[in-house]
Amino acid sequence: MPAASHPRPTIPAALRAQGLIDATFMRGPDGRTLAASLEEGGGYRMRFPRRHARQAPRQQVPCEGAVINTGGGMAGGDSLSIRVTAEEATNVVLSTPAAERVYGSAGPDTTVDIALRLAAGARLAWLPQETILFGGARLARRLEVDMVGGATLILAEAAIFGRAAMGETLGKGLFADRWRIRRDGCLMHAEQTRLDGPIAELLARKAIGDGARAVATAAMISPDAEDRIDAARAALLGAGSECGVSAWKGMLLARFAAQDPALLRADLVRFLLVAMRGELPRLWALGDDMATRRGPDAVEDMSASMPECDDAVRRQNTVGREDKFESDPA
C-alpha cells in the first residue's frame, strides 16, 4: 500500500508574528512636527534618522520616520497593523530602511493593514521601499486613508515578484492589494489587485503584466496635484519601465511595470522627486542614483518643469547608510 500522505506542519497561530505601529504626530510650539505618541509591538519599531542642518525653516522640515522590522521579513500567518495619524498642519515622511521580504507560506496569508489619517493642512508621505515576494508567498495588503480636503498625501507601493538575482520564478502564491482613499468622508479612489495562483504565468499575460517582474503605484492627493502632471510626464520621458501618469479631481496617479526591478525603481524615484519637490526620504538615498543613469537630458527635462528637482538627485546621493537613528524625533 502507498505510504499515507501527511499535511505539512504549520506553526500555531499564537506563535505567528503580530506587528504593530501606532503613531500620532503633532505640531510643536516651535512649528516642528513631533511624534506625540508611539506604540510598537511584534518586532516592529519606528525610529527617526538624525537630521543634518538645513536652510529651510523648522516648520517646513518634515519629521521623518523609519518603520523597521527587526525580524528581517514576514512569513505566512504573520500580520502587521500600521496606524498613522497626522494632526493639523504637520509634515511627516515615513519610509523603511530596506525592502520588506515576504517568504513562502504553507497556507496562511501574510496580512498587512495600513490606516492613514490626515487632518487639515497635514502633509504625509507614505513611501516604504519595495516589497519582495519569495516563491510561495501569500500577501494580502489593505490600505485605508481618511483625509481632509486641504491635506496632502503622497504614497507609493512597489512589489517585486521573485528574487531576480537568484533567477527565481514564482509558482503558486497570492498578491492581493486593496486601496480605499476617502477625502472629507467621501470615497475618492478605490482599487484592488489580485493575483492568485501561478503568479509568474499570470504576469506573463500581455493584458496583465506582459512579462513584468515588478509593479508600482504612486499617488499624490493635494490641492495642487493636478498642476504637476506636465512635470511628472517630463520626468518620465525615456522611461525604462512601462509607465503612465494621469490626474483628475485633485489626484496625480502613476503606474509602473517592468521586467527589471531596477528600472522600475529608477522611474518611480523620478516621479517621486516631482511629487516631493526634490526631497526623497533619506533612506531611499543609496538607490536613487539610478534615477540619473539615463543621462543628463532626462534630468534637464524634469528640472525645467520643476526647478527644485535640479539639485535634488545630487543631494540624495550624498547620504549613506552610516546615518544614525534616534528613538525620538525631538
pLDDT in tens, 23-79: 999 999 989 999 999 999 999 999 998 765 455 555 578 999 999 999 889 999 999
pLDDT of residue 27: 94
| pLDDT tens profile 251-274 | 999 999 999 999 999 999 999 999
Q: Is the pLDDT of residue 8 over 60?
A: no
Read off the pLDDT of each residue in 135-151 and give the average, rounded to a whole number: 95
User: Any idea which residue has 517630463 for its cell?
Assistant: 234
| pLDDT tens profile 280-302 | 888 886 445 444 444 333 333 33
pLDDT of residue 258: 95
Q: Are 176 and 194 in contact (CB under 8 A)?
A: yes
pLDDT of residue 49: 81
pLDDT of residue 51: 61
What band does 241 get if pLDDT is binned at 50, 70 and 90?
very high
| pTM for the full predicted model | 0.82
**Cell numbers standing for residue 304:** 525645467
pLDDT of residue 259: 93
Burial 286-297 (b: 16+ CB within 10 A, else e): ebbebbbebeee
List Cβ neighbours of 252 (8 Å cut-off, separation of 6 or more): 219, 220, 221, 222, 225, 226, 228, 229, 232, 245, 246, 275
Q: Which of 14-18, 98-102, 222-226, 326-330 has the lowest mean pLDDT?
A: 326-330
Q: Is the pLDDT of residue 4 over 60?
A: no
pLDDT of residue 6: 47
Phi-psi map region of 250: left, alpha, beta (phi>0 left; psi -120 to 50 alpha): left
Read off the pLDDT of each residue in 301-305 and give the average, rounded to a whole number: 32
What proportion of the chain, given as a percentage, has pLDDT over 70? 77
